[in-house]
Structure 1
Amino acid sequence: MNHSTSAALVANFCLNNFTDLDQAKLDREYYYAHLPLCVVDSVFSMGVKYESVRNVVTRIKGFFHNTTYREFGSEPKSTADQISITEFRRKLANQTPEELATHVYGNKQRTSSQNGILKAEAVNLFLEVLVKYEVDYFQDVTKLIGNGDFKKDIKRIPGQASGICLSYFFMLAGNDTLIKPDRMVEAFLEGIVGRKCTLTESQNLLAEASNLLCEQGYEMNPRLLDNVIWNYQRKLVITKG
């Protein structure tokens, strides 16, 4: 099955099974009020049920004056109204990764079952890389577009070699051309294509499928289609469970 045929099958499945496709909208995580929350979410979301990530975000909302989200559909607020990467790092500076995992995030998950580090430590390392590239606010993320060195530095963090966490960070920070092919999306595409797809294949399939849906009159992009598919698969899992 060639790429174009697979993309058409994805688009047709969406047209035939997603009854509210014309009302599709992103989940609230895509409207965080502060960039550090995008880091926390992207790191803690790897390989787990998303409810645990939302629990982590709820536990740390006090660090952000309880302004976790901005208004739905809105652009990032001015930098004066954001908690910067630097400020968030400063709030955490006097605690070890173990203390952060226990007392701040309330989550001791590791980036990998073999030789992984605490996700709390991975967040710290991700934040350090952002500071290295002078990224403090949403408005700074454009500096990272096409920066291969930044990508390499993030992928050196234990557990981040696949690049999925990095793609998801960019999605949460506002990039609507990327996807996060986690287990939900992987299962969806495998069911249609008949085999597991690589990260690049998944990205390309949803990009082309979203273009096909646009041709049918729907407002769609890869990030939104990824989110729609994720929610569809999640409902199936809950129903079967």
Structure 2
Amino acid sequence: MPATTDDRVDLLAKRCDSDLGDPDLWFRPDGYPHSLALCIIDSIASTGAHYNSVKNVLRHYIEYRQAQGGNADTDNAGALLGTFTELGGPQQWAEMTNNRKPTSTSKGAPLKAAAIHEAAVQLREQGINSTYDLLNAAPSKIEEAKKAWISVPGQRSGITWNYFLMLAGIGGVKADRMVIRFVADAIGSAPENVSPTDAATLVKAVAEKSGRNVTHFDHAIWRFESGRPVNQQH
């Protein structure tokens, strides 16, 4: 007999209790509360990549902006697009960040740099130029922005959109392969039988049941599955 949703929530909650330690000691995700640019870059660069490569992209962008006298920590979408214009386009931007990875393994797939550029364009067209715009947007505006985002090459699943929101400070779950693997193991299923939506729904349910921040739950699970320490030592 298939496990009910309540059963799966209970199983996942038990696994979180046993594997993730004291929630008060969890490492907290940093995010970029004042930089829509860094939210866009990090979320799209992170797909199918080791996080060190993402950090390198961010570091190159931050250093480039510093050399210009700018501040990446407060960059909006317009500032990000300005760097593409100055450099000559996505190809040159990819070279500046030393990351020429494509959006997928499909032949001829565009660069992640091109997807970053397109996502910034789409957000601006939706009237979202800053994290302030995003955090204060009406639900209908957010939904339109999501539709625009998932139209960008390589972003159709919506995983990077959810991560983008989390980086900007809107609670959620980035149901990537790490989170799916943890959830699947906890509920006794194979990862291929757990969709990103299912994984996100179950993690959100556990967070609500425990009264904890769902983004913090997501981050703790990701750290555990990627072999990083989950709890800060005091």
> TM-score, structure 2 length as denominator?
0.85
Task: Tell me, yes or no, if the aligned pair for 2:45 and 2:112 is still in contact at 8 Å.
Answer: yes
CA deviation after TM superposition for structure 1 residue 32, in Å: 5.3
Secondary structure of residue in 2 paired with 1:235: coil
Measured in 1, the distance between the counterparts of 2:138 and 2:55 equals 26
Cα pair distance change 1:155/1:120, threshold 3 Å = same
The answer to whether 1:165 aligns with 2:160 is yes
Percent identity (aligned): 25
The answer to whether 1:223 aligns with 2:225 is no
Give the CA RMSD over aligned residues. 2.0
Instruction: Please show how residues 123-202 of structure 1 align to structure 2 within 5 Å.
Output: 123-141=116-134, 142-143=136-137, 145-147=139-141, 148-176=143-171, 178-193=172-187, 194-195=189-190, 196-202=193-199
State the number of aligned residues.
217
Measured in 1, the distance between the counterparts of 2:123 and 2:51 equals 24
Partner of 1:205: 202
Secondary structure of residue in 1 paired with 2:47: coil
CA deviation after TM superposition for structure 1 residue 144, in Å: 5.9
Task: Tell me, yes or no, if the aligned pair for 1:33 and 1:68 is still in contact at 8 Å.
Answer: no
Measured in 1, the distance between the counterparts of 2:138 and 2:224 equals 31
Task: Tell me, yes or no, if the aligned pair for 1:64 and 1:83 is still in contact at 8 Å.
Answer: no
Measured in 1, the distance between the counterparts of 2:11 and 2:71 equals 41
CA deviation after TM superposition for structure 1 residue 33, in Å: 4.1
The answer to whether 1:12 aligns with 2:14 is yes
**What are the Cα deviations for residues 73-98 of structure 1, in whole angstroms up to 9, with x where unaligned?**
xxxxxxxxx22211221132131221
The answer to whether 1:48 aligns with 2:49 is yes
Letter of the structure 2 residue corresponding to residue 203 of structure 1: A
CA deviation after TM superposition for structure 1 residue 164, in Å: 0.6
Task: Tell me, yes or no, if the aligned pair for 1:43 and 1:119 is still in contact at 8 Å.
Answer: yes
User: Runs of 4 or more off by more than 4 Å in structure 1?
Assistant: 66-69
Instruction: Please show how residues 51-130 of structure 1 align to structure 2 within 5 Å.
Output: 51-65=52-66, 82-94=74-86, 95-102=88-95, 104-114=96-106, 115-130=108-123
Measured in 2, the distance between the counterparts of 1:144 and 1:117 equals 31
Task: Tell me, yes or no, if the aligned pair for 2:101 and 2:112 is still in contact at 8 Å.
Answer: yes
**What are the Cα deviations for residues 185-236 of structure 1, in whole angstroms up to 9, with x where unaligned?**
111111112133112211210111112222xxxxx12211110000011117
Measured in 1, the distance between the counterparts of 2:195 and 2:13 equals 19
Partner of 1:74: none
Cα pair distance change 1:119/1:26, threshold 3 Å = same
Q: Determine which structure has greater relative contact order: mean sequence separation of CA pairs < 8 Å that are 6+ residues apart, divided by chain length.
A: 2
CA deviation after TM superposition for structure 1 residue 180, in Å: 0.5
Measured in 2, the distance between the counterparts of 1:9 and 1:200 equals 17
Task: Tell me, yes or no, if the aligned pair for 1:32 and 1:68 is still in contact at 8 Å.
Answer: no
